[in-house]
Structure 1
Amino acid sequence: MTSPVEAAEPDRAPARSDAPPPLPLTSPSSPPSSPSSSPSPSATRAGGRLRWLGLAAVLAVEVMDLLDTTIVGIASPSIRADFGGSSTQIQWITAAYTLSFAVLMITGARLGDIVGRHRMFLLGVAGFGACSALCACAVSPGMLIGTRAAQGAFAAMVLPQGIGLIREVFPAAEAGRAFALFGPVMGVSAVGGPVLGGYLTDADLLGTGWRAVFLINVPLAVAAFLVGLRALPASRAPRRTQLDLPGVVLVSAAVLLLVYPLVEGRDLGWPLWSYAMMAAALPVLLLFARRQRALRRRGRSPLVEPSLFRHRGFDGSLAVGVVFFGAMSGLILILTLFLQYGLGDSPLRAGATTIPMALGTAVGATLSGVWLGARFGRLTVQGGLVLTAAGVGALALTVHGTGGTPTGWQLSPALLAAGIGLGMVMAPFFDIALAGVSDDETGSASGVLNAVQQLGGSIGVAVLGTVFFSRAAHGTSPARATAAAAQTALWIAAAALAVSTAAAFLMPRRAHH
């Protein structure tokens, strides 16, 4: 795939090696290929050893990102018990990471073109590891939220660089084997985060408690840095580009204007300014789009290729992506909060309860990536959305049918079904979405999809978290109120997923192969 810079400059030669990564769960069945995907001399001399080590470094970074997106939810009640603070602060601990990631993702890809992808990869890994250590040392909710936002910023620096670097050390004949590892590894990491988070929080290793969910990143970051330093080649775009700073400011402002009032509004009683901020997000986004079109007319490189949004298939994919990843992130947060607040489970037990969903995701991603996606294309995504919606609805019915006190075994069938559906969607979604754009727009489209994935997660946490905490604050007893809150949030997620099935008809029928 091409980078946003390359996609924005049609006068480049078609051979490219500086693509941003596909989304963390891109389909293994159709990896990108390019004439420039030739191994570096050092990798060739090592007989392939260094190139596979380089892939391991990139996978380690992807795992850290997905763990940090999901692992914190299971530790949130312990963090609140330690620090105090409001329910809004719990939402921000999760949303701050995905929000800063979404805001800076496309910018991170462009910085790789400007200062060098290898340099940005190492800088991002080092910063991510340092911020993880600072998260573990946090002494207040505000400090933790700030360091989480910094984590997301460094993740946005490092993740756009990895796949482009890997393509340089793998010849076309080996690229398929390398990219085939992404789906299963990322799928299990995304949904297995709560399981690991529950163990680390409950185990209280060396008295660290919830802080261990951040400390686990430090050795991973150190290993990825050292391996990346040796095994990944120095690389940069063949033509120097410039960063559109006004564009960065506009798109950042639009996202903040939307997400900030969604998280803060409930605690403050939804004042008038919260609605005004959300309404202002649209004109600011339109100003950003206008600037991108103006840059293209002047022959300069926009952050986002304006022509992308003339493709109905790509627009439909964005709509599905926002809803799907929002529902996924919100579901994981609501489930872990209900298990701990409503049922009184320990973090370890709450994490163990989600194991069927993690296993289901691995099964769904494998089936979809290896067979279903290639054979049925868009129908696989739609089938996965329907199955996920049915699984989430079954969760709500199970909570209701058990009087708000289900056991882990009673939740397992619904969790397994929802997990299989999640995996079915994630594996082919990105390849199918990118089939709706032309070749010279692929890099920019990939960056936008990455950003939408993170933005959807932020919105899902904000909306479903707000619904949950609003409903949980009213009721005859905390247990009943929490169960009712979980049911309401789950039904909203199920309805959104069902509606997105219709939007998926706008997606391209199949991925390009």
Structure 2
Amino acid sequence: MTEQLATTTVAARPRATASPLGPVALTTLLFGAFLPMLSFFIINVALPAIGSDLRATSGELQLVVGSYGIANATLLVVGGRLGDGFGRKRLFLIGLTGFTVMSLICAIAPTIGVLLAARVVQGAAAAAMTPQVLASITSLLTGEHRARAMAMFGVAGGAAAALGQILGGILVEANVFGLGWRAVFLVNVPVGILAVAAAIRLLPETKADRANRVDLVGAALLALTLVLVLLPLTEGRPLGWPLWTWLCLAATIPSVAVLGLHQHRAEQSGQAPLIPPTVLRLRAMRIGLLLAVAFFTTFGGFMFVFALATQGEAHMSPLEGGLSLLPMAVGFLITSIYGPRLQQRYGAGLILRGWIIQAVGYAVLALVALTLWPDVNPWKLAVPMLIAGFGSGLVMVPLMGVVVSQVPPAQAGLGSGILLTSQQTCLALGAATVGTAYLALAGTSWGQGGALAAVALAITAVSLLMTPVTHQLRSRSSGVGG
């Protein structure tokens, strides 16, 4: 997550005696990747129940997703650099403890305002925790042990994204002890407590040889920019697009300009900016960022609207809505497990194949929505969801590894940090942008089925547009089969 990954030391322990993480310690560490991603996706299927119970508007429900993602995105690199300086185990424990406590507060939130505030802090806690996973793996493990752990990191993220809404549907439908939607947050608490106890006992402390100063000004400017986009997009439609929404959107232009100027000046003065312009000037990074923005914006938006559509006009229960995603989860899990092996063979060509398969899946889903809606169920949606899930996994799982492998080693840590930041940013903005478009169409003669089909066709178009872009990245891969 940071440029210092390649030069780390194990605190109070000579470099030569550093030993690989044991299975339990590595599993504990990987919860830092699994829980934050799970928390992002598990909430989608519970949104209708949250809206009914807390009397939340559609815009507020979008913020339940978006506020978490924005807080997480703006602080990911900051969390990585704090871990470099103060100790990665220490930051991991702080983040995991905060995440667990905020999960409990979300579970008992009496109002939508309390829930939104807790989601912001929960996202910030996740940003303190997640960067320490990659940094610790890189500093503690080498060779085959590191490669296996990095593959497991990808599996953890893919499994969380795929299984989140299924688990959410089961928990909401089961209504254990009358908890309803609150169980999707409460499930994190016992897991978090066990992980904290295991981390205290099993994880060694590591620090960077030289830690950079934290770019708090850059983080604040990035947060401001994202809020200026997110808030009007989520609240504008239900409020009738008042003047302040347009002023906020217009203000994003000078906000981006000030952020870019600050990053340039910080780098020129020898400081460590949040988003280094020199890394963004690398061709592979620019292509990778374009692919990441396209994928995570559409994927985050689709997950949000699919939950609303299946529990709306289709009259599915939360469990049925979650089970409709089971084929997609199967596709994700298959690619998460076999993705690293396929990546060695095909390189960026694997991503190219993924875009094409994903396009086919979403096109078939649009056809189903247009011809059968609202008479749909998990079985009728199974084929397009399986195809889309398999294609999405082929794009998501290898994306970071393929892009970072084409970046100079000295900048690989920064590159991965920027890609993870864009991932969280776009997942949140996807719920705002795609979600707003869907809600606007669903309120017209299109209905929810037509709106879902429009979203699916839009993702199909984006997927096809990304194939020539991916081919440019592919052509720069050396020794890759295609």
> What is the TM-score with the length of structure 2 in the denominator?
0.93
2:180 is aligned to 209
Alpha-carbon offset, residue 510 of structure 1: 6.2
| Partner residue of 2:375 out of 405, 409, 428 | 405
2:423 is aligned to 453
Amino acid at match of 1:262: L
1:244 is aligned to 215
- CA–CA distance in structure 1, aligned partners of residues 365 and 145 of structure 2: 42
- CA–CA distance in structure 2, aligned partners of residues 177 and 245 of structure 1: 34
Deviation sequence 1:465-497 (CA, Å, 0-9, x none): 11221122234xxxx722122222222222222
- CA–CA distance in structure 1, aligned partners of residues 40 and 256 of structure 2: 25
1:176 matches 2:142: no
1:472 is aligned to 442
Q: 1:353 to 1:110 in 2, by over 3 A?
A: same
| Partner residue of 2:89 out of 101, 118, 143 | 118
Q: Counterparts of 1:126-275 in structure 2 under 5 Å?
A: 126-275=97-246
Aligned partners of 2:106 and 2:115 also within 8 Å: yes
Aligned partners of 2:340 and 2:398 also within 8 Å: yes
| Partner residue of 1:488 out of 434, 454, 465 | 454
1:503 matches 2:469: yes
- CA–CA distance in structure 2, aligned partners of residues 227 and 68 of structure 1: 21
- CA–CA distance in structure 2, aligned partners of residues 492 and 180 of structure 1: 31
Aligned partners of 2:8 and 2:207 also within 8 Å: no
| Structure 1 stretch displaced more, 230-239 or 497-506 | 497-506
1:380 is aligned to 350
Q: Counterparts of 1:17-416 in structure 2 under 5 Å?
A: 40=18, 44=19, 51-371=22-342, 373-416=343-386
Aligned partners of 1:404 and 1:484 also within 8 Å: no
Q: 1:217 to 1:509 in 2, by over 3 A?
A: farther
| Structure 1 stretch displaced more, 272-281 or 482-491 | 272-281
3-state SS of 2:381 partner: helix
Q: Counterparts of 1:401-440 in structure 2 under 5 Å?
A: 401-440=371-410
- CA–CA distance in structure 2, aligned partners of residues 445 and 389 of structure 1: 27
- CA–CA distance in structure 2, aligned partners of residues 418 and 245 of structure 1: 39
Aligned partners of 2:66 and 2:431 also within 8 Å: yes
Q: 1:139 to 1:374 in 2, by over 3 A?
A: same
| Structure 1 stretch displaced more, 318-327 or 249-258 | 249-258
Q: Which runs of 5+ in 1 are unaligned?
A: 8-13, 19-35
- CA–CA distance in structure 1, aligned partners of residues 115 and 395 of structure 2: 32
- CA–CA distance in structure 2, aligned partners of residues 469 and 328 of structure 1: 16
Alpha-carbon offset, residue 157 of structure 1: 0.6
Alpha-carbon offset, residue 110 of structure 1: 1.6
Aligned partners of 2:316 and 2:377 also within 8 Å: no
* Coordinate RMSD, CA, aligned: 2.2
3-state SS of 1:265 partner: helix
Alpha-carbon offset, residue 341 of structure 1: 0.8
Amino acid at match of 1:466: T
- CA–CA distance in structure 2, aligned partners of residues 485 and 244 of structure 1: 41
Deviation sequence 1:433-492 (CA, Å, 0-9, x none): 1133212111111111011001111111111111221122234xxxx7221222222222
- CA–CA distance in structure 2, aligned partners of residues 64 and 447 of structure 1: 18
Deviation sequence 1:298-341 (CA, Å, 0-9, x none): 22222222211211221111011011011111111211211111
Aligned partners of 1:435 and 1:510 also within 8 Å: no
Q: Which runs of 5+ in 2 are unaligned?
A: none
| Structure 1 stretch displaced more, 188-197 or 498-507 | 498-507
Amino acid at match of 1:148: R
Deviation sequence 1:400-428 (CA, Å, 0-9, x none): 11143223212111000001001111221
Q: 1:496 to 1:278 in 2, by over 3 A?
A: farther
Alpha-carbon offset, residue 246 of structure 1: 1.9
| Structure 1 stretch displaced more, 408-417 or 157-166 | 157-166
- CA–CA distance in structure 2, aligned partners of residues 456 and 414 of structure 1: 24
Q: 1:460 to 1:240 in 2, by over 3 A?
A: closer
Q: 1:444 to 1:495 in 2, by over 3 A?
A: same
Aligned partners of 1:37 and 1:169 also within 8 Å: no
Identity %: 31
Amino acid at match of 1:485: A
> What is the TM-score with the length of structure 1 in the denominator?
0.88
